[in-house]
Structure 1
Amino acid sequence: MKIILVIEDESAVLTNILEILECGGFKAIGAENGQIGVQLAKENLPNLILCDIMMPVLDGYGVLNELRQDPTTATIPLIFLTAKAEAQDLREGMNLGADDYLTKPFRRKDLLEAVNTRLAKQAAVMQQYDRERQRAEGLQSKMLELEELTNTKEGLLMKLIEDLRNPLSKINLAIHMLKNMPAGASRDRYLEILQEEFNREISLIEQVSDLQELLTVDNFKLLRQFNLLGGNLNDLPPQKNE
């Protein structure tokens, strides 16, 4: 049930408005002056405020000014109730952020139409806000996903390089050991095979940078699916700062 706060210093008018609102299906709260109205607005956070302009203690402009300065009440729509419809009064309220006006005396129909229209506009604004918020959250999620993918690709490349370097060191060691063996066909053949393997590994390392363009999300998942990559993301070495 929508909550409507009515701030009106004339008790008969206040009672009448509260009755109309309750019959219209709203929960109505009354305040007899602006100071009490501001307090009730902060305590109840109504969906809409109907506020008289000319009041003791704190007038309608003061009420609107205080509500707009508080983040918890700044977006609550407010309709001024006034017996004065001069353009200057209307402009002052609009400059402060009033949403609408009702000139007293008004009919029951006019009051309910103004309230329902303003609530509908507020609902449309909130829906638009929710759509934009969801869109912003979606974009933020995509950015995080891209950042994670970039880190994954960098980590994967580093791991590939590390995996390639490990056999290189062993191959190089074997070549040095064979070089110390007596000359012969067997030694020369082993050296030839090892040198070819060594050169092949060197070539792979030089081409690792080209793999980055191929490391899309789908390709990475495919490699893991067929167990062509050892370990998992948690095993990847941390990215080094250049």
Structure 2
Amino acid sequence: MTTILVIEDDPLVRNNLEDILSLENFKFISASNGLEGVASAKTHKPDLIICDIMMPELDGYGVLRSLQQDSRTQHIPFIFLTAKADHSDCREGMELGADDYLTKPFRPKDIVNAIKSRLARYALSQIQYRQQQEDQQSLERQVSEQSKLSEIKENLLSQLTQDLREPLSNINLALHMLSHAKTDTERDRYIEVLKQEYNREMRLLDNASNLQDMITPQNIKLLRQFNLLKET
């Protein structure tokens, strides 16, 4: 159930607001001055606050400033209620972060419409905020996956470079021995070595090309799942 905090020092106005909220099936909490209202807001964390401006102990502006400085209450929709209709007062309240401004005397439907409008707007902002958070997390995951892919490809390239050196070394040695061979048998043996090392080299190059195509986030996840690829 939606909870509304009413901060109002006038008992008659406070009772009228409570009656209106009860008829609309809102749960309400009441406070008779600003200090009491701030304490109640921080304790109960209501879904919306209706607050008078001119009050003893702490006025409405002081209430809003105090709530704005607390991360637990700074996002609660806040409606000012006052007998003053001066434009400068409205502007000051809005600049402090108030969501709406209603003047006394008020009609029940004005209060109800303001509450429903601010609750709907707040719910929409929360949905948009969660979507932004999800988008940000998704982007961070993509960046992390790309970073891991680049690291894995770099490691594979380093390993491939090492693997290619051995056949090249053998080919170089076989060419040297072939140039000094004295019989056909020796030449045939070194030619066979050259063929084998050449084929080995080509297989490594083919495998490298295939590995590049196979390195995807999905495949890496499967390899790690079956302990075929260690975390880097």
TM-score category of the 2 structures, normalised to the smaller one = 0.7 to 0.9
SS in structure 1 at match of 2:89: helix
Measured against aligned partners, the alpha-carbon deviations of 1:132-164 in whole angstroms (never above 9, x if no partner) come to: 111111111111111111112112222333333
Q: 2:32 corresponds to which residue?
A: 32
Shift in alpha-carbon separation, 1:212–1:71, aligned structure 2, 3 A:
farther
Gaps of 5+ in 2: none
- CA gap of 1:29–1:150, structure 2 versus 1, over 3 A, is same
Number of the residue aligned with 1:114? 114
Q: How many residue pairs align between the two structures? A: 225
Alignment of 1:234 with 2:206, yes or no, is: no
Counterpart residue number, 1:20 = 20
Instruction: Check conservation: 1:153, 1:212, Cα contact below 8 A.
Output: no
Q: Which residue number corresponds to residue 128 of structure 2?
A: 128
Structure 2: distance between partners of 1:125 and 1:134: 14
| Overall identity of the aligned pairs, in % | 40
Amino acid across the alignment from 1:195: L
Question: 1:100: how far off?
Answer: 0.5
Deviation, 1:178, is 6.4
Cα distance change, pair 91–103 in 1 and its aligned pair in 2 (3 A): same
Q: Is the Cα–Cα contact under 8 Å of residues 157 and 212 in structure 1 kept in the other structure?
A: no
> 1:152–1:23: structure 2 CA closer, same or farther, 3 Å change rule?
same
Cα displacement string for residues 97-148 of structure 1 (whole angstroms, at most 9, x for unaligned residues): 1111111121221111111111011111111111211111111111111111
Q: Unmatched 5+ residue regions in structure 1? A: 226-230
**Which 4+ stretches in 1 moved above 3 angstroms?**
162-169, 171-179, 195-205, 210-221
Distance 1:14 1:55 in 2: 13
- Aligned equivalents of 2:9, 2:144: Cα separation in 1: 54
Q: CA RMSD in A?
A: 3.3
Paired with 2:168 and 2:128, the residues of 1 have a C-alpha distance of 60
Q: What TM-score, normalized by structure 2, do the two folds share?
A: 0.82
SS of residue paired to 2:230: helix
